[in-house]
Homo-oligomer: A and B are copies of this chain.
Amino acid sequence: MDVKDLRIDANPTLVREHALAKLRAAIASGLYPPGKRLVERELCEALGVSRTSVREALRQLQAEGLIEAGPRRNISVAHVSAQDARDIYDLRALIETDAVRRLVENDDCEVIKSLQGMAKTIRKIVRKGDIPALAEQAAALYETILEGSGSRIIAETGKQLLKRVSYLRLASMSAPQRLDDGMAEWDAIIDAIVARDAKAAMSAVRSHIVNSRDTILATFEAPTKAE
């Protein structure tokens, strides 16, 4: 064992970061749906931390666009309009196709192998039909592709967009036929990457995102909800 291995790099998890993660998860899971008003004291109680930490987490969420301030100083979970959703997916298409192109050009076997692994994991989850787990794994796959671009900037920017639609992604995946189609699309992406075919990978990513977008937009038109 090397001295390097003694290194402690995991910071003792800042309370505010913990709070941030919990709040993000609450929004992504739909526990706090768009428009839900967030009252600081309630969050303090729910999270078991002080207002100081909650407020700092809120500022960060605000900067990320996941929550927004109303006219009366109220904070609520950000609404994502159909137009916003469309714009986010279109921008993702731009950015992620670029990311995957770079990824293929970088030709990093490490990354590509891990992508193959993730595809396998996803296939398993799809068979089980565990939607929440699938949403999480899918996000991980997208993030891996973004990071595979080798560009910190692309990765950060792309991930920020992903966070803004994490709630929607759950809805998208609940559409019946979408699961199988999605799996096929993921396979196409991975296959193209493995074949080091940048053009095919770009086009596979683009159609996957466009299909996801259209699925999401369909849910906007059908207001659902038989409550």
A87 contact from B16, B64, B88, B153, Cβ within 8 A: B153
| A63-B64, A95-B94 given; A151·B87 CB < 8 A | yes
Copies of this chain, how many? 2
Residues of B close to A154: CB separation below 8 A: 87, 91
Flag A155-180 by CB within 8 Å of B: 1 or 0 each: 01100110010000000000000000
A84:B52 contact, CB within 8 angstroms:
no
Flag A129-172 by CB within 8 Å of B: 1 or 0 each: 00000000000000000000001111011001100100000000
Stretch at the interface among A32-40, A53-61, A182-190, A193-201: A53-61
Q: In the complex, what residue of chain B is closest to A51 when comparing beta carbons?
A: B52
Q: In the complex, what residue of chain B is closest to A149 when comparing beta carbons?
A: B87
> Is A62 in contact with chain B by the CB < 8 A criterion?
yes
Interface of chain A: mostly helix, strand, loop or mixed: helix
> Is A191 in contact with chain B by the CB < 8 A criterion?
no
> CA–CA, A187 to B118, complex, Å?
48
A42-94 residues with Cβ-Cβ distance < 8 A to B are: 52, 55-56, 59-60, 62-65, 71, 83-84, 87-88, 91, 94
Q: In the complex, what residue of chain B is closest to A97 when comparing beta carbons?
A: B94
| A62-B60, A64-B63 given; A91·B84 CB < 8 A | no
B95:A65 contact, CB within 8 angstroms:
no
Q: Which has the most chain B C-beta neighbours within 10 Å: A16, A60, A63?
A: A63
Residues of B close to A65: CB separation below 8 A: 156
